[in-house]
Amino acid sequence: MKVSNNRLALLTTILAIVVSAAGRAEDADRAGTSKQSFRAKIEYCTTCHGLSGQGYHGFYPIPRLAGQQAQYIENQLQAYIEHRRQNKYMYSVAHVLSPAMRKALARHFSELHAKPMGDVPKGLVAEGKKIYEDGIPETNVPACMACHGAEAKGQGSIPRLAGQLNDYVINKLLNWTKERGQDPARPDISAIMLPTSHNLTKPQVAAVAAYVGSVQ
């Protein structure tokens, strides 16, 4: 039976994800979570975030988790639990996860390598690249690469932006104060982004989103 190149590629991708999940399941078991529970949580997460963690364009844009910094994922799950970051859906998901499960899930998604979804307006990429690399001195917007890195892959608690969904980045930057830093008594690293998100205009936000979304 002949198998088309596209179908073969899809099967290979699915097999790689299954093998990866199986390996992570063994790690999760050693970390104090059962293989069955870990696989069930992975299946639940991929319902929204995609089989490869590539994100999803729905009524609300659902972010790419593939390749995201593991520490950042863990931190955000904790922020949802503590209501420092607001999202009723993610609170429902996060507050039932044990610390060991959060760590295992974060590691799993950080090791996926889905390609960007290619949803960026290409005409904005050049402007976005300039803002990302140079900032906008006249409005006190620092270079994004100073924190997120030259390849936009982040580090530790600083998130990866490379390949993130265009509409998700726009939505987050334009609504930063409505979701992040919701407990002034317990400020976190999200406070760093407050002045930057405030000082970027909507066209500038769109340009930055287009650029980071185009980075592999």
Q: What is the DSSP letter of 190?
A: G
User: According to the model, what pLDDT value does residue 2 have?
Assistant: 42
Fill in the DSSP letter of residue 171: H
Q: 122-214: which CATH number, 1.10.540.10, 1.10.3720.10, 1.10.760.10, 3.40.50.720?
A: 1.10.760.10
- Give the per-residue pLDDT at 58: 85
pLDDT at 17: 43
Domain 5-110 fold: Cytochrome Bc1 Complex; Chain D, domain 2 (1.10.760)
Is residue 72 within 8 Å of residue 160, measured between CB atoms?
yes
Report the phi/psi class of residue 136: left, alpha or beta, with left for phi > 0 and alpha for psi in -120 to 50.
beta
pLDDT attached to residue 33? 73
CA dihedral 18, 20, 21, 22 (to 10 degrees): 80
CB 151 within 8 A of CB 162: yes
User: What is the model's pLDDT at position 24?
Assistant: 52
Can you give the residue ranges of every domain in the chain?
5-110, 122-214
Q: What's residue 26's pLDDT?
A: 53
The pLDDT score that the predictor gives to residue 70 is 98
Tens of pLDDT, residue by residue, the chain (216 residues): 444 444 444 434 444 444 454 455 455 544 567 899 999 999 999 999 999 999 998 888 999 999 999 999 999 999 999 999 999 999 999 999 999 999 999 999 999 999 988 889 999 999 999 999 999 999 999 999 999 999 999 999 999 999 999 999 999 999 999 999 999 889 888 999 999 999 999 999 999 999 999 998
Question: Rounded to the nearest 10 degrees, how much is the dihedral formed by the CA atoms of 196, 201, 207, 212?
Answer: 20
Contact 66, 114 (CB under 8 A): yes
